[in-house]
Amino acid sequence: MTIAPKAPRKLTMKQRYEALTRDLDWEPSYVDRSDVFPHTEFEGIKIHDWSKWEDPFRLTVDSYTKYQAEKDKRLYAVLDGFAQSQGHLSLTEASYLNAMKLFLQGVTPLEYQAHRNFAYLARHLDGPGPRFAALCQSIDEMRHTQTEIHTLSNYNKYYGGFHNYLEQHDRVWYLSVPKSFFDDALSAGPFEFLIAIGFSFEYLLTNLLFVPFMSGASFNGDLPTMTFGFSAQSDESRHMTLGLEAIKFLLEQDEANVPIVQAWIDKWFWRGYRVTALVAQMLDYMLPRKVMSWKEAFELYFEEQMLGGLFQDLAFYGIRPPMHVDDAIAEKEILSHQVYWTLYQFSHAAAFTTTVPDADAQKWLSENYTETFDQLYKPLWDKEAKNIEAGGRHFARGLPQLCQVCQVPMLFTEPGDPTTLCQRESVYNGEKFQTCSDGCQWIFEREPEKYVQAWLPVHQIYQGNCGGPTVPDVLTWYGIQDGDGGEYKGSVDDRNWQKWHDAADHSNIGSEG
Amino acid sequence: MAVKSIGTYDFPSRSRQELYGDDQLVHLWFQGNMWFCAAACFRAPKAMTWGDFWNGLVVPYAEEDPDFDPAAQRVWTLHGEQFTPRDDQTLEEIGVEHKDVIGMRVVA
């Protein structure tokens, strides 16, 4: 006699999630737990009960892949349509793409590094809930890397600066800013990485680091990037939730975790904030059609939402706002101007172009920075305008001093004195190390043995490790070609743009020469 | 506070003086002049004279500022103290060490 098998009991979504994630975990019986998870104790973080981890989202791998595949389909349909209809011609101006060059060179490789490190967390965290969350984020980050590359690859057919972003990320001076930031996180322990990237980067600063590029795209006719942004948005909100859960979980598990987490927030706020220097100038100077000023973005997304919201909640756990946050607030009126003036002088060695802001742009800057632009920065542009009339758009003829920690040229000024450069010096093992601010100096002195290893592009050039002693040698080693960098007006991109828009006959669109 | 790590954590500086042989890195800070967005960084032999440093490295760099006047009267600082360089003194004799920042301000 045969007995008909019982119909499988249908699990609820929650049960199914539990079965496919946490229930796959087991206690090791013939090896020590600390041998299976060797990296979760050395940072001093104490976890007593991983089951208290509240999964911020309940996705299983099959529902995850189904959902992501649908989003990909929609994105790739937009990319195809944009490419076939020569959509690049409906951008506000070719110079807009400087923002996207910076994004592809500076941000996309970070997505890949995030993929790597979340994969590491998916292996090494010793709780099944966060391991699975890290696995999903790891796959997300890989997908973002790929979709960003695909989204921007269409522009590579027509415009300079897109063709060698990966190698440039590892080599070029301004890209050492985001690269060294992420390398710092990658070489930290798993919990510090969670606070550095999961919390500080994905939650605290995401609206100042990632979102401005997507907003810039939507204001400047870049439909593919905007669609990518939407496609990433639901992932990003999951990442933000994970970052927030991570910090709350660590703080709730043991009081001894509070000072450790606080120090990481202090460090990673400033590290991330210094990377936003590149975003600040992008918002205020690179976008032909402006979204909002850096100052406005900083006030809304950081001062109101984070200091006014998040940190009020975190106070319950004994967490205070990041150290040096007042210096960041004080810089909001001057940051973008100082950074763009620097990039303007050094863009002959960059894979994007710069130009003097035109009358409309200067008017906008003056209206948005009533306390500083006319007083401090307009005189520089006026002087440069005379320079140009006299036949010489200028570029720096040498190399700048770099900050040992953030690796930005030492362009920042003393708190309260926007005309005096900020110079900080520390001595470690008899060697002098300069930093750009109290924030970077504090970070250096907290872990000097880490930062003495910094691969500072200027020092590396002088050591002969970057292709040779002359500017052309270094540019060749960077993989920067004619038309990638320098002045925008009269550049290959500018000339092509004019030609493609002036020509009555559009049959030659996309052709060179 | 030291780095918390899973093993011994001891690595040499990537900018230490010996990597530059007989040379060293010298920073020049154009104080009170916003045209120069940051201090300049030069590689210069320790035995280079001030005259060669000034004429061979600093002046060509600084001439990018249309208002630069090599003959202007300047105040120099090193290690927080004022000094007056002579053209025949070497950087080493002046006391310039690897990665020092020399301050330079034009007297109005």
| Residue B85 Cα, gap to closest chain A Cα (Å) | 22
In which residue ranges of chain B is pLDDT below 70? 1
CA angle B87, B89, B94 (to 5 degrees): 120
Other CB atoms closer than 10 Å to residue A93's CB: what's the count? 17
Q: Cα–Cα distance between A416 and A402 in angstroms, integer?
A: 22
Of A39, A338, A401, the CB nearest to B39: A401
Q: Cα–Cα distance between B5 and A442 in angstroms, integer?
A: 19
* Chain A residues closer than 8 Å to B31 by CB: 420-421
Closest CA to A72 of A133, A161, A151, A134: A151
Which amino acid belongs to residue A323? M
Q: Report CA-CA distances (Å) from B108 to A72, A133, B73.
A: 63, 62, 8
Q: How many CB pairs under 8 A join A and B?
A: 124
Candidates B20, B34, B67, B78: best to mutate against A (most CBs of A within 10 A) is B34
Asked if the C-beta of A433 comes within 8 angstroms of chain B's C-beta atoms, the answer is yes
Phi, psi values for residue B28, rounded to 5°: -120, 125
Candidates B9, B41, B78: best to mutate against A (most CBs of A within 10 A) is B41
Q: What is the DSSP letter of B1?
A: -
Give me the pLDDT at residue A107, please: 95
Which amino acid belongs to residue A457? P
With both helix axes pointing from N to C terminus, report the angle between A97-106 and A128-156 in degrees, rounded to the nearest 10.
140
Q: Tell me which chain A residue has its CA closest to the CA of residue B59.
A: A397
Closest CA to A227 of A83, A413, A394: A83
Give me the pLDDT at residue A187, please: 96
Both structure tokens of A99: 């923002």
Residue A219, judged by CB atoms within 10 A of its CB (0-12, 13-18, 19+), counts as middle
Asked if the C-beta of A376 comes within 8 angstroms of chain B's C-beta atoms, the answer is yes
Q: In angstroms, how far is CA A203 from the centroid of its own chain? A: 12
Candidates A463, A465, A470, A474: best to mutate against B (most CBs of B within 10 A) is A463
Q: Which helix (H) or strand (E) holds B104?
A: strand B100-106
Asked if the C-beta of A189 comes within 8 angstroms of chain B's C-beta atoms, the answer is yes
Q: What is the DSSP letter of B100?
A: E
Strands (E) in A342-423, as ranges, are 353-354, 399-400, 413-414, 417-421
End-to-end CA, chain B: 45
Interface predicted TM-score (ipTM): 0.98
| Residue A314 Cα, gap to closest chain B Cα (Å) | 25
Q: Tell me which chain A residue has its CA closest to the CA of residue B102.
A: A423
- CB–CB contact B34 A380 (8 Å): yes
| Residue A48 Cα, gap to closest chain B Cα (Å) | 21
Length of chain B: 108
Q: Tell me which chain A residue has its CA closest to the CA of residue B65.
A: A394
Strand partners, B104: B30, B76
Asked if the C-beta of B68 comes within 8 angstroms of chain A's C-beta atoms, the answer is no
Q: Cα–Cα distance between A426 and A412 in angstroms, integer?
A: 17
Q: Cα–Cα distance between A138 and A86 in angstroms, integer?
A: 34
- Please list the pLDDT of chain A residue by residue as tens digits (513 residues): 567 667 667 888 788 888 888 888 889 999 999 999 999 999 999 999 998 887 767 778 888 899 999 999 999 999 999 999 999 999 999 999 999 999 999 999 999 999 999 999 999 999 998 998 899 999 999 999 999 999 999 999 999 999 999 999 999 999 999 999 999 999 999 999 999 999 999 888 888 888 889 999 999 999 999 999 988 888 888 888 889 999 999 999 999 999 999 999 999 999 999 999 999 999 999 999 999 999 999 999 999 999 999 999 999 999 999 999 999 999 999 999 999 999 999 999 999 999 999 999 999 999 999 999 999 999 999 999 999 999 889 999 999 999 999 999 999 999 999 999 999 999 999 999 999 999 999 999 999 999 999 999 999 999 999 999 899 999 999 999 999 999 999 999 999 999 999 865 555 555 554
Of A345, A423, A429, the CB nearest to B37: A345
Give me the pLDDT at residue A513, please: 45
